[in-house]
Amino acid sequence: MKKEEFKFGYDLYENIDELNAADAALLKAAREITQKAYAPYSHFLVGAVAQLQNGETVSGTNQENASYPVGICAERVLLSAASVLHTNVPIDTIAISYHNTNAGWKSDRPVSPCGMCRQALREYEDRINQPIRLILSGMEGEVIVLEKASQLLPMSFGPGDLK
Ligand code: THU
């Protein structure tokens, strides 16, 4: 028997002003696009914007439904759009932000993708054969930068397991 360990590091910034210009612009776009979320049930508006290797950007917002489980997260809306509009083009970075519009709630700390989105991100990395950086932040405050989205899903199931 031997013990195994999984560890990963990330960068924590005090606010958007500490980021380089490209990352700051992407996060600003993610914050802005939260306005286009369709979240009449949770009032939790999520926005995601990807920087692609071909210079284009693709965005996604959460799309809820009166039949609650039908709703889809911003990250997976983004990945589906990128897959169709820019098939096989690597995604370098995705900035993800949210605006919690419920009374009394703040949007001043980073939140990270849900489990289902982690699985989707992990497979997208496989498809494009490169890590996807994530920039996570609310409408203000601290910013987390991760070098590889799949670090959020250790010991994951993936395409290789089906072979
Ligand atoms: N949501 C996202 O869009 N991304 C996440 O990673 C977490 C949750 C959405 C789903 C739902 O519309 C709302 O946020 C509240 O869970």
Return the exposure string of 60-97: e unless at least 16 CB atoms fall within 10 Å of the residue's CB, then b.
bbbbbeeeeeeebbbbbbbbeebbeebeebbbbbbbbb
Q: pLDDT tens digits for 8-18?
A: 999 999 999 99
Query: Which atom in ligand 1 lies closest to the alpha carbon of residue 45?
Result: 14
32 is catalytic: no
Strand 91-100 and strand 133-137: the pairing is parallel
Among 33, 41, 42, name the best residue to mutate to test ligand 1's pocket (greatest count of ligand atoms within 8 A of Cβ).
Answer: 42
Q: pLDDT tens digits for 90-127?
A: 999 999 999 999 999 999 999 999 999 999 999 999 99
Q: List residues near ligand 1 (CB under 6 A).
A: 39, 42, 44, 46, 62, 64, 71, 73-75, 113-114, 117
Q: pLDDT tens digits for 41-81?
A: 999 999 999 999 999 999 999 999 999 999 999 999 999 99
What DSSP state is assigned to residue 72? B
Return the exposure string of 110-123: e unless at least 16 CB atoms fall within 10 Å of the residue's CB, then b.
bbebeeebbbbbbb
Kindly report whether the global pTM for this prediction surpasses the value 0.95: yes
> What topology is assigned to 11-151 in CATH?
Cytidine Deaminase; domain 2 (3.40.140)
Q: Which of 5, 18, 56, 75 is catalytic?
A: 75
